[in-house]
Amino acid sequence: MITSGQLRASRALLGIDQRELAELCRLSVPTIQRMEASDGIVRGTVDSLMKLITALERAGIEVIAAGAATQKGGRGVRLRK
């Protein structure tokens, strides 16, 4: 699962806009816009969500789930080395 905030933060870390993310995911720009406009957890079809997560991971983004092993807890994203 990824939240709309994590999605926007991922784009910011990568330095890309919605159009570039749409191209990476092979999704439409309106789909990316809807995902980012979601309240909390991003909503979409399973196929679209898998494309999104796969593209972010390939680009070097690690999505940190709530309750994952971190010093302070909480959700987030980070660039992998």
CA separation for the pair 20, 18 (Å, rounded): 5
pTM of the model: 0.83
The pLDDT value recorded for residue 69 is 58
- What is each CA distance from 70 to 19, 31, 74, 76, in whole angstroms? 32, 31, 8, 10
CA separation for the pair 31, 68 (Å, rounded): 28
List the chain residues with pLDDT less than 50.
Answer: none
The enclosing domain of 25 has a CATH number of 1.10.260.40
Residue 26 domain boundaries = 4-79
Q: Into how many domains does the chain fold?
A: 1
